[in-house]
Chains A and B, each alone.
Chain A
Amino acid sequence: MREKNLLFCLVVFLCMAAAFVATLSYPPDARFFPIIVISLCGVVALWELVKTYRQKGEKSSETDKGYRRRFILTAAWTVGFVLAIGLLGFNIGLTLITFAYVKTHEKGWRWAVIMPIITFVMSYVGFEILLQTPLYEGLLFL
């Protein structure tokens, strides 16, 4: 956790430094509030960075490693959802990725069929027809 905290504070500090430089080029009225906020955030992030650096670290356990693996898988599925929408659009993309997700994680076909149908009904009937939202059709179908 210590390393992650250090990394987060460092990233925030570097982002604030970059934002500070970028903000200096803005007109005085437009940079007034941001400069205050960025400066404060940079200082607090640096303080937190030093404080965390001085703390003792803990070794990562096997449970941590298992969790990390599950997180990477989940992050990959989440990115998969977004990619499916981008490529195939909401109606088809969400239906297919829901099918893939449920089939991978659940035994049998019952839920693997029911859940994509529910998703399709929600997106097509709920949003596209009833709410009249012109849903994105996907890069492949444009």
Chain B
Amino acid sequence: MIDSVMIASIIKGVSALFQPMIMLTMFLAVIVGLIFGILPGVSGMTFMALMIPFTFGMDPFLAFVLLVSGYAVSSTGGSIASILINVPGDGPSAATLLDGFPMTQQGKAGRALGAMFTASGLGGVEGTVVLALLIPVVIPIVMAFGSPECFFLIVMGLSFIVSLGNEAKAKGAIAALLGLLVAFVGYHDATAFPRYTFGTAYLLDGIEIVPCALAIFAVPEAMSIMISGSAIVDQRTVRRSASADLWEGTKDVFRHWGLHIRCVVLGVIVGIVPGVGGHVASWVGYGHAKTTSKHPETFGHGNVEGIIGPESAMNGKEGGAMLPTLALGIPGSSGMAVLLGAFLIQGIQPGPTFLRDHLDLAWTITGTLVLANVLGMLICFLAAPTLIKVTRVRGHLLAPFLVSLMALGAYSSRNSLEDVFLTFGLAFLAWAMRQLGYSRPVFFVGYVLGGLAERYFGISVMAHGWKFFLTPISLIIIAVTIVSVSIEPVIKYRKRRKSS
């Protein structure tokens, strides 16, 4: 029910966004946030962490516009690097490169970027709108999500591995299992027992996601450019106008409007669940796009649906992740955990009382998410024709720059030289996998979700015993997982029966 207090707070919260100082801050934060996203190793979370010291003593409205604007668009920046140079700016952007980079290699970088900007920008706006609509409804559901539900949500993400690998099933299984094994390196959460550390202190905290993403996806591609010496896009490829290509990509999102909306909703749901994060959202989005596509066989070879799915889910997630942070004081993602710190610095306690005492600020934050995404989308569209030119640069000039960027990215994720060594060491495994037809995305999904799955499984068994799966939400998620995994084989079986 919208009462007068609500209307007054909406007016106050939204009108704050149109003050010149706040608008200027948002513009600058969006540009810096995009740059942070593009650079591997630094992310939206890093942006917030670096900016928090500047918010001491700042007006809370201005402070949160600064933090939220940069954070909201950073994943878009990450995906630009994924599509153009196959370097994931952050972990979740890795899903976008599976089809984004092959499109770039085919000379369709503009179309891939257009689809990404639109899906990501609109996803962020729609996710926020869904958040605003869901606030009264969803809180009880969020409260019902415990560790068993989180575990099965991650199992659902892992189940999409089946749909990711196009190669021989045995090779796909080996890749997934190797990824899972890498996730087990470091302290075991429940017992604090160090595993597979080879006696080194460096591995106690496990293998960080940024070095791993760079090693699996980026370094092998840079090596490939070094070997061939040619540009990312073959010089013989027909050049099309960048603006026409960008527009084509935008139209692609509207051609697959159903997929876009479904993935935004999936992203919001994943975002609402605390502790699951953007990695799950983007892979769930990718898996959903592939399982529901009419041409799943073209995924991994430059299918635009493979960009729309993860981008919609990933940016849609931010709206969802904001909900438990503001309403419950529980961060919905790691970025939101940093934002929670900013709230405390400002002397504001997020939680049930926040929506009562600071409803106007909640609307300012919601409005910032919308406006920053729109602004980010516009800036990206304007900058894209220049950015695309990087794909035509000669390989021998681009490769050393990329390798340097990767080394800096690997290092700066936690200022560790060992991360650089690990990145380039693991890259040789990734190179071997690439050459021998072992799916690297499958490996990466196993790595990203394996550790989370083990963590939630352990907590679930400790808290609920071995019957932990007998909760209504868990059973629903299990059912959805079984249906989504079995849908493709069932359709294939039916087709075979029809044809015979």
Among residues of A, the one whose C-beta sits closest to the C-beta of B462 is A29
A4 touches B181 (CB 8 A): no
Q: Mark A29-69, 1 if CB is under 8 A from B, else 0.
A: 11001100110110011011001000000000000000100
In the assembled complex, the CB of B59 is this many whole angstroms from the nearest CB of chain A, namely 25
CB of B171 closer than 8 Å to a CB of A: yes
Interface band, chain B: 35 or more
Interface residue from A37, A106, A126 paired with B181 (Cβ < 8 Å): A37
Indicate whether A19 sits within 8 Å of B196 (C-beta atoms), given known contacts A37-B180, A47-B170. yes
Among residues of B, the one whose C-beta sits closest to the C-beta of A23 is B195
CB of A135 closer than 8 Å to a CB of B: yes
Task: Tell me which residues across on chain B come within 8 A of A126, comparing CB atoms.
Answer: 39, 408
Interface band, chain A: 35 or more
CA distance A64 to B458 in the complex (A): 48
Q: Mark B426-444, 1 if CB is under 8 A from A, else 0.
A: 0110001001101000000
Among residues of B, the one whose C-beta sits closest to the C-beta of A101 is B400
In the assembled complex, the CB of A132 is this many whole angstroms from the nearest CB of chain B, namely 7
Indicate whether A75 sits within 8 Å of B223 (C-beta atoms), given known contacts A27-B191, A29-B190, A101-B400. yes
CA distance A74 to B174 in the complex (A): 27
Task: Tell me which residues across on chain A come within 8 A of B438, comparing CB atoms.
Answer: 8
CA distance A15 to B382 in the complex (A): 50
CB of B412 closer than 8 Å to a CB of A: yes
CA distance A132 to B412 in the complex (A): 10
Task: Tell me which residues across on chain B come within 8 A of A33, comparing CB atoms.
Answer: 180, 184, 450, 453-454, 457
CA distance A26 to B194 in the complex (A): 9
Interface residue from B181, B195, B404 paired with A119 (Cβ < 8 Å): B404
CA distance A103 to B266 in the complex (A): 50
Among residues of A, the one whose C-beta sits closest to the C-beta of B446 is A37
CA distance A106 to B141 in the complex (A): 61
CA distance A133 to B412 in the complex (A): 7
Q: Mark A75-105, 1 if CB is under 8 A from B, else 0.
A: 1011101100110001000100110011001
Q: Mark B393-423, 1 if CB is under 8 A from A, else 0.
A: 0101101110111011001100101001100
A123 touches B408 (CB 8 A): yes
A102 touches B424 (CB 8 A): no
Task: Tell me which residues across on chain B come within 8 A of A122, comparing CB atoms.
Answer: 401, 404-405, 408
CB of B52 closer than 8 Å to a CB of A: no
Q: What is the interface of chain A, defined by CB distance below 8 A to chain B?
A: 1, 4-5, 8-9, 12, 19, 22-23, 26-27, 29-30, 33-34, 37-38, 40-41, 44-45, 47-48, 51, 67, 70-71, 74-75, 77-79, 81-82, 85-86, 90, 94, 97-98, 101-102, 105-106, 111, 115, 118-119, 122-123, 126-127, 131-136
Q: What is the interface of chain B, defined by CB distance below 8 A to chain A?
A: 39, 42, 46, 50, 170-171, 173-174, 177-178, 180-181, 184, 188, 190-191, 193, 195-196, 219, 223, 226-227, 229, 394, 396-397, 399-401, 403-405, 407-408, 411-412, 415, 417, 420-421, 424, 427-428, 432, 435-436, 438, 450, 453-454, 457-458
Interface residue from B174, B195, B223 paired with A26 (Cβ < 8 Å): B195
A22 touches B196 (CB 8 A): yes
Task: Tell me which residues across on chain A come within 8 A of B226, comparing CB atoms.
Answer: 74, 77-78
Task: Tell me which residues across on chain B come within 8 A of A38, comparing CB atoms.
Answer: 181
Among residues of A, the one whose C-beta sits closest to the C-beta of B458 is A29
B178 touches A12 (CB 8 A): yes
CA distance A36 to B472 in the complex (A): 27
A34 touches B195 (CB 8 A): yes
A135 touches B196 (CB 8 A): no
A131 touches B396 (CB 8 A): no
Interface residue from B46, B173, B227, B424 paired with A70 (Cβ < 8 Å): B227
